[in-house]
């Protein structure tokens, strides 16, 4: 039962053009029932679409909120640049307590950080300059040693440095280092043979082979 919008009488009504119309008005005005059904379906479809749009909007808002929360979490939970630098300094100070003064690379890394942070510390600056010089010597020694190692191989194109090997640089004195290089080559039968080589290099440019043997 409902109030008919056409005759303003409470009767049994149907929805037509978004208005409640009684059966008498529908019959008296020869309204097409197919048209009524079509209008009813149209109203239903519009209503369902609106519900779907509302749900999609809510889901989108929910996802956006989650993304924003994650971004804010990483922003506020992460260390600032100053805090990261302090952690690196503390780690470097601990490193120096546990490594040998002859370990060129680890000392180079540690004193680089410390001399940058403690700009007025002359001792850190001097030691960084020393290990920085020896680290450059290490790179030069590696290139020269690699060239010499290749001369021992028949299949020079098969020469390959073992990046997971003990390719360590050790300080002998303030001007001299020992450079160890592990490498492999293939023989005429395609078999891979591993070698260990060690060289002594000086800041004056001299290089001397200390040892070369199969692993």
- 127-176 residue pLDDT tens: 999 999 999 999 999 999 999 998 877 788 889 998 888 899 999 999 99
Q: What is the pLDDT of residues 96-115, one digit of tens each?
A: 999 999 999 999 999 999 99
**Contact indicator for 169, 102 with CB cutoff of 8 Å:** no
Give pLDDT, residue 116: 93
**Tokens 């109203």, located at residue:** 43
Q: How many helices (H) and strands (E) does the chain have?
A: 5, 9
Cα separation, 107 vs 130, whole angstroms = 10
Greater model confidence, 35 or 193: 193
Nearest 5°: phi and psi at 83? -65, -40
**Contact indicator for 10, 4 with CB cutoff of 8 Å:** yes
pLDDT band for 76, please (50, 70, 90 cuts): low
Give pLDDT, residue 79: 60
Q: Alpha helices of 9-121 — where are they, by DSSP H?
A: 23-28, 33-77, 81-98, 104-117
For residues 177-203, average pLDDT:
93
CA end-to-end span of the chain: 99
């Amino acid at each position: 039962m409902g109030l008919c919008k056409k005759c303003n009488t409470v009767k049994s009504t149907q929805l037509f053009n978004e208005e409640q119309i009684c059966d008498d008005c529908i019959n008296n005005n020869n309204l097409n029932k197919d048209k009524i059904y079509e209008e009813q379906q149209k109203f239903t479809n519009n209503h369902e679409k609106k519900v779907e749009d509302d749900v999609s909007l809510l889901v989108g808002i929910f996802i956006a909120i989650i993304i924003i929360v994650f971004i804010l979490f990483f922003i506020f939970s992460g260390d600032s640049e100053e805090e990261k630098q302090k952690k690196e300094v503390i780690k470097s100070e601990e490193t120096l307590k546990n490594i040998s003064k002859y370990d060129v690379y680890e000392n180079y890394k540690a004193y680089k950080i410390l001399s940058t942070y403690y700009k007025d510390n002359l001792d850190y600056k001097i030691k960084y300059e020393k290990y920085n010089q020896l680290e450059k010597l290490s790179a030069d020694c590696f290139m020269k040693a690699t060239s010499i190692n290749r001369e021992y191989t028949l299949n020079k194109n098969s020469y390959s440095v073992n990046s997971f090997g003990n390719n360590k640089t050790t300080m002998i004195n303030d001007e001299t280092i020992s450079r160890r290089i592990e490498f492999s080559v293939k023989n005429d039968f395609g078999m891979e043979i591993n070698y260990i080589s060690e060289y002594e290099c000086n800041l004056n440019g001299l290089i001397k082979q200390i040892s070369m043997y199969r692993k």
